Amino acid sequence: MAQDIRELLKNDLSVPTEGLKPNHEARFNARLDENFGTQAKAKAEGYLWMKIAAVLVVLIAVTGLLLNNPFVATTPQQPTEVNTIASTTATKVQLSDFSPEYKQIEDRYLASIHMELAQLNVTDDNKAVVDAFMGQLEELNQEYDRLNEDLVEAGVNNQNIQALVDNLQFRLDLLLKLKEKLNELQESQFNEIKTNTI
């Protein structure tokens, strides 16, 4: 039953042996163009419009992003002369100017400080205590500004950075102590009222 396929094809008369007719490829392409040419051209034109539309969408999106980018300066900056002596005292440098890690630390402390300040409940009874703590807080703020000036003059070093971080920590600790003191005052006033009413 096993037969050689090559022998079968040689003996088969229905298979043409002379090869392809001349101009076979040209006739084949002509038939393709005749049957499918208009559809292919229409598809190509449709794709062309889609490509143009896609490019326009991308250009509009990129332009919108660049125009609304907060990191791009929107106002042209005028060149100014800098007095180096005045700039060291007038420039306020913060930890965030030196490293993203320092920015994160400074932002965390400052946010905590502002949150604690916002939560303070100042009344006539505790105003003297709050004023005393605020005086100490102002001294720490002035010390922070002085440390910033030292940082500008001396440059970045671990000692200055640690002093700035410690100052932020002291300010936060001071506010937490103030909050505890206010809670103690409030509890003592509550206890006085409670004992007076009993």
pLDDT in tens, 39-65: 666 666 667 878 888 899 998 888 887
- Is residue 115 domain-shared with residue 24, that is, in the same domain? no
Same domain as 162, residue 132 = yes
What is the residue type of 182?
Answer: L
Domain end among 19, 43, 72? 72
Sign of the alpha-carbon dihedral angle for 170, 173, 178, 181: negative
% of the chain beyond a pLDDT of 90: 2
| pTM score, whole prediction | 0.47
Q: Are residues 55 and 94 both part of a single domain?
A: no
Spatial separation of the C-alpha atoms in residues 179 and 99, rounded to whole Å:
32
Residues 142 and 174 in one domain: yes
Domain encompassing residue 38:
10-72
Tens of pLDDT along 133-162? Answer: 888 889 988 998 888 888 888 877 888 888
Among the candidates 72, 94, 125, a domain finishes at 72
Residue 22: inside a domain:
yes
Closest by CA to 88, choosing from 165, 174, 150, 7, is: 150
Instruction: State how many domains the chain has.
Output: 2
Same domain, 88 and 66: no
| Tokens encoding 44 | 């190509």
Q: Is the dihedral of CA 37, 39, 42, 46 positive or negative?
A: negative
Distance CA 1, CA 121 (A): 105
For residue 160, being part of any structural domain is answered with: yes
Measured between alpha carbons, how far is 179 from 117 in angstroms, rounded to an integer? 9
Return the beta strands (E) in 35-189 as ranges: none
Instruction: Please give the Cα distance from 185 to 123 (Å, whole number).
Output: 11
Q: How far is CA 186 from CA 80, 170, 180, 192, in A?
A: 55, 24, 10, 10
Identify the domain boundary among 50, 72, 94.
72
**88 and 155: one domain?**
yes
